[in-house]
Amino acid sequence: MFELRCTVRDCQNILVPSDSGLTCEARHHFDRAKQGYWNLTQPQDRKSKQPGDCTEAVMARHRWLARGHAAGLVQTLSPWIAIPTRSGADSPPRTLDLGCGEGFFGPALFANEAEGYCGIDLSKTAMKLAARRWPEATWVLANADRELPATDASVDRVISLFGRRPVAEIQRVLAPDGVCIIAVPGEEDLIELREKVQQSGHRRRRWELVVEEMEAAGLRCAEQTHWELKVELAPDAILDALAMTYRGVRHSQQERLKTVEAMSVTLAADLLLLRRR
C-alpha cells in the first residue's frame, strides 16, 4: 500500500495500517470506506454538500472514457511513464495521481505498479468508481489543493491529467530524481462543439503558463508534446462532453444541440514532462 501522511492540521505523521483503519502517532484515525477508498478529508474540505466534481460530471466522464477516446493519449504518455525513476529499488515507483477522477488512467498507465500507486480526488462518486475498477491500488478522498498526504521528497511521479496542480505541494513531495507529468486541454480541444454551443470558439494556450508556474517553483520542463485526435460524436457523446466540461449547464446551450445528430470534434491536449532542478 502507498504510504500516506496524516492530513490533520499541523500533524503530518505517517499513517500506519491497523485492523480498524489507519492511525498516526498522534492517534488520529481514518477509516476505510466499504467501497475500498480512504477518507482523509478534513472539516475545511467539506464546505459543500458534495465536494469535488458533481455526480453528473463524474458519470459523463466515466462514459466518455469507456468509449475509448483516450486510448491514443495513454499511448502518447507511455514513454514518459517508462522513464526510470529509481535505480535498484525493490518496490515499484511511487506515483501520486492528482484529481484522478474515476480512476481510468491509473490502471491504463501503471497496471503493474498497484502497490506504489495512489489516486486522489475530492469526489466520493469518483472514488467509488476508481476503487471498484482497481481495488489493488490506494485511493484517497482528499483535497489535493490543500496538502498532499505524502512525506517530503518521497514520490517518484506526480501525475496531473486535466486535474489539480498544487505547485508548492508537488515540489515538496517529489523525490530529487522525480518527474511530474501534466496534461491540459489544447487550444483546439472540442473547438467545434464550443463554437456550436457557445457561439464562439476562444482558443487558450494553457501549457506555457503552466510551465512558467512550475519553473517558478523549482521544476524545469524537460519535454513538451501535443496530442490530437478527430472523432465523430453521436448525440449522447456530445451531451457527455458538455456535462464533463461544465459547458452544458445553460438551457440556451442545450437548445442549440437539439438539431445536431452527430458532429466531428477535435480532441487535443498539451503534455508536459517536468523534473526537479
> What are the chain's domains?
16-276 (3.40.50.150)
Rounded (5°) CA angle 38-44-50: 65
pLDDT given for residue 87 in this prediction = 46
Could you tell me what percentage of the chain is helix, strand and coil, using 3-state DSSP and rounding each to the nearest 5? Answer: 30, 25, 40
- What is the secondary structure of 32-49 as a DSSP string? BPTTS-EE---GGG-SSS
pLDDT value of position 85: 55
CB 273 within 8 A of CB 80: yes
What is the predicted pLDDT for the residue at 101? 94
Tens of pLDDT, residue by residue over 221-240, are 999 999 999 999 998 998 89
End-to-end CA distance of the chain: 29
Q: What is the pLDDT of residue 193?
A: 86
pTM, entire model: 0.91
Mean pLDDT of 39-55: 75
Reading the block at residue 199, the C-alpha cell is 457561439
Residue 21 neighbours by CB distance under 10 Å: 14
Q: What is the pLDDT of residues 11-33, one digit of tens each?
A: 999 999 987 799 999 999 999 99
Query: Phi, psi at residue 58, to the nearest 5°?
Result: -65, -45
Q: Are 25 and 106 in contact (CB under 8 A)?
A: no
Beta bridge partners of 179: 157, 275
pLDDT for 255 equals 64
CA 127 to chain centre: 12
Query: Residue holding cell 498497484?
Result: 114
> What is the distance between the alpha carbons of residues 147 and 5, in angstroms, rounded to a whole number?
10
269 contacts 216 by C-beta, under 8 angstroms: no
Rounded mean pLDDT, 89-96: 84
* Banded model confidence at residue 261, pLDDT cuts 50, 70, 90: confident
- The lowest-confidence range among 44-58, 155-169, 212-226 is 44-58
The reported pLDDT for the residue numbered 195 is 85
The better pLDDT of the pair 151, 53 is held by 151
3-state DSSP assignment of residue 277: coil
Indicate the average pLDDT of the chain.
89
pLDDT score for 53:
83
For the segment 261-272, the average pLDDT, to the nearest whole number, is 94
The pLDDT score that the predictor gives to residue 194 is 83
Q: How far is CA 217 from CA 32, 98, 169, 220, in A?
A: 34, 18, 10, 9
> Whole-angstrom Cα distance, residue 46 to residue 39?
12
Q: In this structure, are residues 64 and 102 in contact, taking their beta carbons and an 8 Å threshold? A: no
- Mean pLDDT to the nearest integer, 138-154: 93
Per the CB < 8 A criterion, the answer to whether 214 and 277 are in contact is: no
Asked whether residue 256 carries a pLDDT value surpassing 70, the answer given is no
Is residue 257 predicted with pLDDT exceeding 80?
no
Instruction: State pLDDT tens for residues 178-209.
Output: 999 999 999 999 999 888 877 666 778 899 99
Please say if the pLDDT value at position 97 is more than 80: yes
CA distances to 55, 78, 111, 137, 169 from 92, rounded to whole Å, are 33, 16, 11, 12, 22
Q: Check residue 51 and give its pLDDT.
A: 65
